[in-house]
Amino acid sequence: MLPFSLEFASTMAAGPFNPHIITPQWLMKNEVCAAGSGRAKFMPFDPSQGQAFEFGDGMQWQIDYRRLVVISRDENCGQLVAKVIKLLQHTPVRSVAHSFNYSVIPVNQRKSAPSLSIFDPEHKRQITEIVGKVEQLRWTCVLNIDGAVVEVTIADQPELSVALFSFYRDTESDPVKAVMASERFAEDKKESESLLNRLFA
């Protein structure tokens, strides 16, 4: 059993997208989403800024004049964003980011200690003695992996530990680079899992 599970993932493309174009009907008509995705449920969102909706399978879309975001636990969000970019090549996409949010078995419930000494119970005890009760410990770093800037944050607390990974790529308003970056979703997900395994070995 893995010590972690994916809660949700997302792909964000930064650019002046038109929320009046990217609608549930448009997504299904252009076969970005399957016709059987179900009826879209619109979510609270400032209508002057854009729109947000969710398909029946839990896939969320958020579109405003600054970015397009797709959120899902099961779908390849990057592939969906890549399809939109291909259809709207005139939209300059400045950057693409894939994010993966995991829940992790808390340190005090694990059979073996994680690789990170910051989460060692003794370390937490020492911090508590210095500053008082500690509600949560966080560890953050920024990496460069295969041309992507990767931000890693791990937060440990007794009830729930989480690990957040974000892979950022500058696409220079080039639609080809934007599509390529969007299509790195699966590879980035695999890399995030590899990092988690190493951090919590």
Would you state the pLDDT for residue 1? Answer: 45
Question: What is the per-residue pLDDT across 85-103, written as a single tens digit (0 to 9) for each?
Answer: 999 999 999 999 999 999 9
Would you state the pLDDT for residue 131? Answer: 84
Would you state the pLDDT for residue 113? Answer: 54
Contact (Cβ atoms closer than 8 angstroms) between residue 55 and residue 33: yes
Would you state the pLDDT for residue 111? Answer: 61
Q: Which two tokens stand for residue 150?
A: 């990767």
Segments of 34-114 assigned E as strands: 41-42, 50-54, 60-64, 67-72, 95-104
Per the listing, tokens 């291909």 go with 86
pLDDT < 50: residue spans in the chain:
1
Would you state the pLDDT for residue 2? Answer: 55
Per the listing, tokens 């174009």 go with 21
Contact (Cβ atoms closer than 8 angstroms) between residue 200 and residue 194: no
Would you state the pLDDT for residue 140? Answer: 92
How far does Cα 48 stand from its chain's mean position? 25
Question: What is the per-residue pLDDT across 46-73, written as a single tens digit (0 to 9) for each?
Answer: 877 899 999 977 899 999 999 999 999 9
Q: How far apart are CA 83 and CA 79, in angstroms?
A: 6
